Amino acid sequence: MNRYPMWKYILILVIVSLGALYALPNIYGQSQVVQIKSEQDKAVDQATLDQVANILNENQVSYEAVSIDGETAIVKFVDLDTQRRGQDVLKEELKGFDTAMNLRPNVPDWLKELGGKAMNLGLDLRGGVHFLLEVDMQEAAENKRKQIRSDITSLLIKSKVPKKRISWSDNELTIQFRNEADMQQAMTLIKKDFDELTLRDNVGVDTFEIIGLLTEQSINAVKENALNQNLTTLRDRVNEIGVAEPIIQRQGLERIVVQLPGLQDTTQAKIMLDATATLEYRPTDMENNAELAARTGRTPVGSTLYYDRQGLPVLLKNRVIATGDQLIDAQSTFDQQSGTPAVSVKLNSIGANRMLEFTKNNVGNFMGVILKERIPIGENEDGVMQYRSKEEVISNARINGVFSNRFQTTGLDSPREASELALLLRAGALAAPVQIVEERTIGPSLGQDNIDKGVLSVQIGLAMVLVFMLIYYRMFGLIANIALTINVVLMVACLSLFGATLTLPGIAGIVLTVGMAVDANVLIFERIKEELRDGNTIQGSIKEGYDKAFSTIADANVTTLIAAVVLFAFGTGPIKGFAVTLSVGIMTSMFTAIVVSRAIVNLIYGRKKKLKSISI
């Protein structure tokens, strides 16, 4: 009656053993480390390690080890104070390298090879920096209008449909033609490719116009796409920095939260998050004089006046051949002919086709490269950072041959600038500028204090539950305690394997789950006692206790799981952390409270045919 087949015991044993194995990495703790990365995006070598060791030894800074991890060097320290001192010394004396404090799990190599990894710790436990970014949605809408205008112009030129003028007024696009035939032909082409515009014609005396309205729905879609693209770009940029377990998520309709656990040096992070550097490749206006345009202030129609880094005027066509959005790779390098810093870029298929078509028809002409940046100029009265836009021509070179997806961009001042520009281009351009409206730094010591208090709360909660169950339910209480301990182990193992990030609210979820897990056993045990009072046999009471309590336990846990899923779907960072641990805890507690505890009960009591009493 109360027996499991052998395969069930073996399965339970395998699951519990795997849970113990993959929960094991969390007992090894973490070490304070300093990450060292080349400013020129080069991998570190043994010479770098020797240089780091010499600097630390000369300044009498003790350290445990110096090693290579990918393209970075890792220096491990004994404690936080030594880590801070070590970073200060390296930052001052190790030229050409960036340094950042971090924490690294001490998981043994044999356990790593088996896929074991420690739980990720959130910002409130690990320390680090928190940024709240606001996306400039007006700029996003303006960028979309510029893109539509440029694409329609290119479409009409390619289709050989002449136009007089094309311009935006708020969200209304006006395209003027010389005759009705050209207007109708353009209407057919634009309707086919630009479904975000609501089109109508405007025909009068010597007036042939297409009016395109960018609808409110389209504008909202532009803003949503801008926010999502910025999220993706920021994730790529943070990955380039090399921060482990970052949290990057939207907050509301226009803001993005970025949390970088373990990072204490915010300078590089702010540069990467806040920068909006991108490139535009445009044809040089070969028909008009740039110096004359700069002197008279009269810019030819279809061209824009820019200046290069020497302050000389350059006239470039408004037509954009390719942009930073179409780059799929960028690496800092040196120009083979001049030896100056350069960025080697690779375009996607759209950009490559445009570049191939342009260079094929313009060998001997010039092409300009515009570097667009947004530079911080200080905070306003409300404490919000203000910026100015900077656009300069970094290259205006002759096209000596036909090329498409691979080429070099020159005209950069230094290898460091080439490295930073390559990083930004590689990570992608932001769809709209962002500004940092809130910044907080949490020290590792505060994070450690949170960890200690969180672990203590779990220990106290678990101990009180264990003592209560042991006193009140005796042997069955001991069985419940074993199942509860296994539940905590399985929960930690699942969180580690899934790569979940543990936060303070997540610890609260674990404490709550401990109480909920024992709740199921209380229901089962009380049901068993009720069956015994009604005169049922001991074996029958155990069976009925588990069987009849199952539906109640399932209903209670499923409704809680639904609430946890809703919290995860609609909550922000801390709420999501609580929801994750609660969800995982519900699933593991169902397994341990019902399956594991019954397996133990079956082993103890199931093989005894005549039971006079049980300790409950």
**What is the CB neighbour count within 10 angstroms for residue 328?**
15
CATH fold for the domain made of 277-429: Gyrase A; domain 2 (3.30.1360)
Cα–Cα distance for residue pair 470/81, rounded to 1 Å: 44
Cα–Cα distance for residue pair 528/541, rounded to 1 Å: 5
Contact 450, 124 (CB under 8 A): yes
Task: Note the pLDDT tens digit of each residue in 541-563.
Answer: 888 888 888 888 888 888 888 98
DSSP 306-320: EEBTTS-EEEEES--
Task: Note the pLDDT tens digit of each residue in 177-208.
Answer: 888 888 888 888 888 878 778 888 888 877 88
Measured in degrees and rounded to the nearest 5, phi and psi for residue 140 equal -60, -45
CATH 1.20.1640.10 occupies which residues in the chain? 6-25+443-606
CA angle 495/234/376 to nearest 5° reads 135
CATH 3.90.1150 occupies which residues in the chain? 128-247
Q: Does domain 6-25+443-606 have CATH number 1.10.10.1150?
A: no
**Structure-model confidence comparison of residues 291 and 515, the more confident one:** 291
Structure-token pair, residue 495: 């969180």
Average pLDDT for residues 117-133, to the nearest whole number?
77
Angle between helices 444-498 and 573-590 (to 10 degrees): 50
Average pLDDT for residues 371-378, to the nearest whole number?
65
**Could you give the count of Cα atoms lying within 13 Å of 206 in the half-sphere of its Cβ?**
0
**pTM of structure:** 0.58
Cα–Cα distance for residue pair 369/346, rounded to 1 Å: 15
Q: Taking 90 as the threshold, does the pLDDT of residue 14 lie above it? A: yes
Task: Note the pLDDT tens digit of each residue in 16-71.
Answer: 999 999 988 888 877 788 888 776 656 678 888 888 889 888 888 888 888 887 77
DSSP 559-576: HHHHHHHHHHHH--HHHH
Nearest CA to 374 out of 382, 385, 359, 362 is that of 385
- Answer left, alpha or beta for residue 252, where phi above 0 means left and psi between -120 and 50 means alpha: left
CATH 3.30.1360.200 occupies which residues in the chain? 277-429
CATH fold for the domain made of 128-247: Aspartate Aminotransferase, domain 1 (3.90.1150)
Task: Note the pLDDT tens digit of each residue in 399-440.
Answer: 878 888 888 777 666 776 677 667 656 655 566 777 777 877
Architecture of the domain spanning 31-105: 2-Layer Sandwich (3.30)
Structure-token pair, residue 199: 């089109």
pLDDT of residue 315: 92
Q: What is the mean pLDDT of the chain?
A: 80
Cα–Cα distance for residue pair 324/277, rounded to 1 Å: 9
